[in-house]
Structure 1
């Protein structure tokens, strides 16, 4: 995805964007009567009875302002609840919710439509024939309000709840899997050393990489006749001392600037191209649920199951079929042990005294090992770590023996 396409995607997610579009549509619809009123005959205008549009617009103006205020209050309350009770990192998914944005845009645009219509009527801008078009526009707006309001009533009953937020994070992480350029790397962690004499590119900003313009990097690689190797993936924290890419070809200032500009750096991480961030947020939700103040292991188990589905999607990801190759650009793979640590390590630490979670965690890792044989060693190492943490925290020897039995059975099956 090009950088300008990424910028447009971010723009369309802003809450004011949809509201502004609907407001423009509402003003255009309200003024259509003044521009197209001459196309309606006086006889037809007299039969329709559009004189009642004044009262309808007054009702819309008074009611839509109250509904808009109520909707905005409900949305802010959901954001505040998610921040304090779930995790602040998941709030952005609630802000980007299209149903909530459409509802707010529809109610605000309807209010503006009614206000503009009342003003135009008071100035006599429409005339008898223009009222017919305004009347038809009012009926259309009312129909939109009814449909949107019914959807909003159903949506607001679960908007911002824990289960709803877990589903949103899981969906965002699964969508991010499609942006992965390669399948994950298994086995021990390794760092690819930068060759001696290579040209290293650093970024001037300080923050998290949220997007990499791979097509632009491919253009530069073609221009220099060499390969550009990325040293930082989306989600990586960068600063002027951090190498973000390197190449064995000498670069001029313009080429280095183009490579640097291909990396978008923001203050916060984003879900779109960073599946690790989705796993981190899921683990945060689970850790919050396991805190003594909440003590909700059921939510932690739901998080574990959601994270297992995300990791399964990563293991099944086939970039050769889904992603277009960019010659000349080498993108390193995510390390699968890091992905496992992002999800399981916090849950194993904070839920070490809960045998139900421990058993579910062991079975989750066994399911991943069954999907991809190359991941068995990584999964079993994580299972061993979780077992060791639980054995030192479980107060009941019966629970400890039960967890040990489950772990041994899973390990025997994985070693076959």
Structure 2
């Protein structure tokens, strides 16, 4: 303002200053509108469900692209025939994430193979086996430069124990589960939202139906994402010295739909929608385990509905829908 009063700017300068002021005001106005819109959506159920669905979708797509986190399948070895040393958990916690790159680097450096026995999302306790490490060299060779005056067995055990701490460090623990490497967690969180909606205090079957729609979309579309084919999954092995136990894929279906069937068994519209959605999953799933689980869940939900629906007309409608879809 002082510069303008002194005539510091010419006509061209004043015009540029005017345009700059207008641009700044427009940007401020747009930012304010966006912020108000964000504030208005915070706390809405639809906004919460979208965020949960987004996180669950990323985890599921990542799973179908690499079901074993880039590792190989766990070997089929009887418990008494295993070679190697176990790595145990030291506290009660959830496995939130596993650093597969660190395990591969450890295995390369120590001429070993790391067989991971838990997946992210598992609740472990002190003494629970996280992994077992199979060394290509003998215990004596692994002891390396251990004290020559110490008994050889003790030297080897000390060296191996120190070495296995690096394996334990590749496991990240926490009091709560994480979406990152845990595809079942997102389904569980969505299902819990539906359970609360079906509680007598809320009695909102519409939200439960919305949640089931989202779970169905997740189960089907995540398998159809780019790079999520079985061939791509089999070629996704990046860690040739690490193996991983498989995910309980039927749990993707049962974790989501079984609690809703239990709490919504007496609500006809919920049970009818569940039958239709499970038929979609059974028909569209590329994974046979998920398709079979959807059919089994439909039978289970049908049985729950027959126990809870009090009106004969509702029972007849559920029977007819189940026979139409799964006969």
TM-score, scaled to structure 2: 0.76
Find out whether 1:165 has 2:51 as its counterpart.
no
Q: Is the 8 A contact 2:52 2:186 kept in 1?
A: yes
Q: Give the structure 2 partner of residue 364 of structure 1.
A: 277
**Structure-to-structure mapping, 1:115-194, within 5 angstroms:** 145-180=28-63, 181-182=66-67, 194=79
CA 1:382–1:47: 2 relative to 1, 3 Å: same
Q: 1:224: how far off?
A: 3.1
Find out whether 1:354 has 2:235 as its counterpart.
no
* Correspondent of 1:228 among 96, 102, 114: 114
Q: Is the 8 A contact 2:68 2:244 kept in 1?
A: no
CA 1:140–1:208: 2 relative to 1, 3 Å: farther
Whole-angstrom CA distance in 1 between matches of 2:68 and 2:181: 14
Q: 1:302: how far off?
A: 0.3
Q: Is the 8 A contact 1:234 1:273 kept in 2?
A: yes
Q: 1:369: how far off?
A: 1.1
Whole-angstrom CA distance in 1 between matches of 2:163 and 2:61: 29
Q: Is the 8 A contact 2:198 2:264 kept in 1?
A: yes
Residue by residue over 1:329-372, the C-alpha shift from the partner in whole angstroms, topping out at 9 and shown as x without a partner, is: 11222112211121011100000001111111111111111123
Structure 2 gaps, min length 5: 11-18, 70-75, 143-159
* Correspondent of 1:300 among 208, 211, 218: 208
Worse overlay, 375-384 or 236-245? 375-384
Q: 1:196: how far off?
A: 3.5
Tell me the C-alpha RMSD between the 2 structures: 3.3
Q: Give the structure 1 partner of residue 187 of structure 2.
A: 279
Q: 1:198: how far off?
A: 3.3
* Correspondent of 2:170 among 262, 267, 283: 262
Q: Give the structure 2 partner of residue 310 of structure 1.
A: 218
CA 1:388–1:45: 2 relative to 1, 3 Å: farther
Q: 1:219: how far off?
A: 1.0
CA 1:152–1:343: 2 relative to 1, 3 Å: same
Q: Give the structure 1 partner of residue 148 of structure 2.
A: none
Whole-angstrom CA distance in 1 between matches of 2:311 and 2:322: 17
Find out whether 1:393 has 2:308 as its counterpart.
yes
Find out whether 1:247 has 2:133 as its counterpart.
yes
Q: Is the 8 A contact 1:220 1:258 kept in 2?
A: yes
Whole-angstrom CA distance in 2 between matches of 1:257 and 1:342: 34
* Correspondent of 2:242 among 329, 349, 362: 329
Identify the structure with bigger relative contact order (alpha carbons < 8 Å, sequence gap 6+): 2
SS of the residue 1:385 aligns to: helix
Q: Is the 8 A contact 1:387 1:403 kept in 2?
A: yes
Q: Is the 8 A contact 2:115 2:131 kept in 1?
A: yes
Higher helix share: 1
Q: Is the 8 A contact 1:290 1:297 kept in 2?
A: yes
Worse overlay, 327-336 or 250-259? 250-259
Whole-angstrom CA distance in 2 between matches of 1:46 and 1:324: 68
Residue by residue over 1:295-320, the C-alpha shift from the partner in whole angstroms, topping out at 9 and shown as x without a partner, is: 11010000001011112245443376
**Structure-to-structure mapping, 1:88-103, within 5 angstroms:** none
Whole-angstrom CA distance in 1 between matches of 2:162 and 2:20: 54
Residue by residue over 1:25-59, the C-alpha shift from the partner in whole angstroms, topping out at 9 and shown as x without a partner, is: xxxxxxxxxxxxxxxx9x999439xxxxxxxxxxx
Whole-angstrom CA distance in 1 between matches of 2:47 and 2:125: 35
Whole-angstrom CA distance in 2 between matches of 1:149 and 1:233: 44
Q: Give the structure 2 partner of residue 378 of structure 1.
A: 293
CA 1:220–1:303: 2 relative to 1, 3 Å: same
SS of the residue 1:179 aligns to: helix
Q: Give the structure 2 partner of residue 47 of structure 1.
A: 9
Q: Is the 8 A contact 1:209 1:238 kept in 2?
A: yes
Structure 1 gaps, min length 5: 1-40, 49-135, 185-190
